[in-house]
Amino acid sequence: MIERIKHIMSSFFDKEAVTECEEIKSGLINATYRVKVGIKNYILQRLNIDVFANPELIQNNLDLLDSYLNNHNSNYKLITPLPNKLGEKLTIDSNGNCYRIFEFIEDSKTISVVETPEQAYEAANQFGSFTAQFKDFDLNGMVPSIPDFHNLSLRFDQFKNSILTGDSNRINQSEKEINILLNYKFIVNLYNSMIKSDDFKIRIMHHDAKISNVLFGPNDIGLHVIDLDTVMPGHIFSDWGDMMRTYISPASEEVLDLEQIIVRPAFIDAIHEGYLHARKDNLSQAESTSLIDSGLIIIYMQALRFMTDHLLNDVYYGAKYSGHNYHRSRNQIHLLNNLLSINGKSTIFPLI
């Protein structure tokens, strides 16, 4: 591997300068490596062009964000690609692979699972601070890196279509879960009311606000938001909902034992407090009280997407075992039920 990495890094440094490299396996989309050049570390990343088909578009978005901060004399640190020897921030190899290099922040770490309310607070504060930096940003130049990424109406329509066109055996075996998801269509109505309301503004949002996209320093103090490929205009439910989906339960979407999937109220409070501390008075009253609803939207959306993929024979997410996306969907339905329960909702359809 090191020879291949050295060859790629020669676009940035002398080939002989690379002394160490190791793969960082926490990400699901892009291939990422820590590379040591002399005594300094860098992050090398191969962009997944199957997901991000237009790397130039992503880089243009990042350049717009950088330019905005520079023009506003901001001290906020945006972790964006460094230029290669030719001054280009995207490096294409002979096989058409797209690479980027980033500064490695020393004495920093990422966290895969939220273990304490303090970590949830710090992460939410970082995502809130990120969006706050761009409160006057002109959104017209930004192009969505993944169109309709958090379009719940579209995801519901795709789900309904998969019931008609998907694998008949899987449809029959998933009848109970399919009916539960259909019965929760009121969440689509909630989503539609949000995006049509003047109280919910379109802003620069991260759209992938999981804990591993925050760099932490000593004592688990949040430092920076990273992995900015999904940054685009959106509504608050995208980041708030993603935090709710991935912070409030100690069990990930991969867990099969539904009893492990619980909601931790202290973590909900931490998300709310950390984000509002960063946003101060920049949110409407409706936005500032929409955390639970945001969680319902994104959790439901993911349950729909997993079930849709299961019914279509795992064409999008793939599957590590038979029924993988079926069980992921059940996991998210159970999390959704738990969140509905603590919020006093009466429409709950149990799985067990």
pLDDT 10s digits, 267-298: 999 999 999 999 877 899 999 999 999 999 99
Measure the CA–CA gap between 285 and 288, rounded to whole angstroms: 5
Copy the structure tokens of residue 288.
Answer: 């500032």
Q: Is there a contact between 127 and 243 (Cβ–Cβ < 8 Å)?
A: yes
Over residues 102-135, the pLDDT tens digits come to 988 889 999 989 999 999 999 999 999 999 999 9
Distance between CA 328 and CA 253 in Å, rounded?
A: 6
Residue 215: enclosing H or E segment and its boundaries?
Answer: strand 214-216
SS3 labels along 123-136: HHHHHHHHHHCCCC
Q: What's the CA gap between 251 and 165, in Å, rounded?
A: 32
pLDDT value, residue 348:
66
- Residue 60 backbone phi and psi in degrees, to 5: -60, -40
State the residue for tokens 């603590």: 342
Among 351, 346, 297, smallest CA distance to 329 is for 351
**Residues 306-328: pLDDT tens digits?**
999 999 999 988 899 999 999 99
Bridge partners of 233, per DSSP, are 204
Report, as ranges of residue numbers, the positions in the chain whose pLDDT lies below 50: none
Residue 130 is predicted with a pLDDT of 96
Distance separating alpha carbons of residues 100 and 147, to the nearest angstrom? 22
List the one residue out of 81, 100, 117, 107 whose CA is nearest residue 11.
Answer: 100
In this structure, what token pair is assigned to residue 10? 């020669």
Task: Report pLDDT for 32.
Answer: 84
For residue 214, the one-letter residue type is: V
The alpha carbon of 257 is separated from its chain's Cα centroid by a whole number of angstroms, namely 24
Contact 161, 307 (CB under 8 A): no
Beta-carbon count within 10 A of 323 CB: 16
pLDDT at 21: 78
Which structure tokens are listed for 268? 């909900």
Distance separating alpha carbons of residues 267 and 274, to the nearest angstrom = 10
Alpha carbon distance 352, 67 (integer Å):
53
Q: What is the pLDDT of residue 290?
A: 96
